[in-house]
Every structure is written in C-alpha cells, then in structure tokens.
Amino acid sequence: MAAVKTAVFLDRDGTIIVDKNYLKDLNDVELLPGAKDAISNLKSAKCMLFLFSNQSGVARGIITMDEVSKCNLRMMELLGHGPNVFDAICMAPESPDDIPVYRKPSPKFIVEMIAKFDLLKEHCYMAGDKASDVFAGINAQINAVLIATNEEAKTSFLESPESKNIKIFPSLFEFANWLLAEKEAMPPEAKK
C-alpha cells in the first residue's frame, strides 16, 4: 500500500496573511500570528500544501495577476521555506458576477489536484476564513475547516446549516496543531 499523503489546501487572505482588500503593495504583506510556525509544522510533517485564493480584484481591474504573484512571493519569503513551499498555487481571478471556474466555492482546483497527485479525499483538508472556503472543501468532498480570523465571516458562516459539522479554529496555527495530532493518531500504514 502506498504511503498516504496528507494535503492541506490553504486560503491566503485572512488565513495566512492579514486580509487587506485587493492587496497589491508588497509592503502590505503581513503574516498572521502563528502562520509561519503553522506552515513550518505542516512542512515538517511532510504535508502537501496548496495555496488557493479568490482574487476577484483581477477581474475587476483593480489589481493585476502579476501583482498577485509578487505578493505571493513576498508572503513565501516571509514564511521562510523558499518559493516552492506550495505544491501548487491557484489564484482564481473571476469576479462574483463571472461564471465561476476556479473561484471558490468551486471545487475545481481541489478536484484537479486530487487527480494529479493521487490524493485520498479523507486525507485532504481545505482551510480558510470564509464560507466560500469551507464550501469549496465540501463541494470537493474533502474535510473543511474554518479559520475564524474574521468575526463577521464567522458569524455569517454560523448561519449556514452546514456549519454544524465543521470544525472552527481561531488561527491556522491551532488548526495545524490539531491536524498533526490527528495524523499522529492515524494507524502506522496511513502515516507518511
């Protein structure tokens, strides 16, 4: 039996870095407390990491994909694991008015990565601060958690019936600790 890979799909704004609307200035890229340690701990445990972010500012003409990519590079510089810390990155450029392709809650990116890397859904997690993150995970039939850095988003999420079955963590750091403890509890053949 092949070793099982644990994969974590991470939202960017409000999950790893402070959510600043339509971030474009490199100087505004700011890690959330504990995010650096969370990523380090997940990397040490050999988790695959995917970055999955809605960037409607691109479709709206407020920011360019080049600016988004440069902010990603700055974030990765701050995380300290080099520019290949993520196994793949998806920046969904559509606006809410467009027909969604990759824009969360579309599960398309997650579904593609599961196929590409031969991942097991029960070992995949989507983590983000908005309902759309959680629903992307639910739509892909993987585990989904809410990183509650945004009180308003948390409150509106709690109004959805699906929220009853979803774990909520105050930070990415707390989620990573929980996940790694869960992994530790897996049977040996399921570990990697």
* φ, ψ (nearest 5 deg) of residue 90: -130, 115
- Under rule CB under 5 A, how many of the chain's residues touch Mg ion? 4
Rounded CA-CA distance 116/146 in Å is 25
- Least distance between Mg ion and beta carbon 130 (Å): 5
Binding mask 112-151 for Mg ion (x = CB under 5 A): -----------------x----------------------
CA distances from 2 to 35, 71, 120, 150 (A): 30, 36, 11, 39
Closest by Cα among 118, 116, 99, 110 to 135? 110
- Least distance between Mg ion and beta carbon 113 (Å): 19
Single residue of 8, 13, 94, 157 touching Mg ion by CB under 5 A: 13
Q: Which residue, 6 or 55, has its beta carbon nearer to Mg ion? A: 55
14 lines the binding site for Mg ion (CB under 5 A): yes
Q: Which residue, 118 or 151, has its beta carbon nearer to Mg ion? A: 151
- Least distance between Mg ion and beta carbon 86 (Å): 16
Q: Which residue, 13 or 94, has its beta carbon nearer to Mg ion? A: 13
16 contacts 10 by C-beta, under 8 angstroms: yes
Rounded CA-CA distance 30/13 in Å is 10
- Least distance between Mg ion and beta carbon 43 (Å): 21
Contacts of 99 (CB under 8 A, 6+ apart): none
Residues 96-115 that bind Mg ion (CB under 5 A): none
- Least distance between Mg ion and beta carbon 15 (Å): 5
Question: Buried (b) or exposed (e) across 126-136, using 16+ Cβ within 10 A?
Answer: bbbbbbbbbbb
- Give the footprint of Mg ion on this chain (CB under 5 A): 11, 13-14, 129
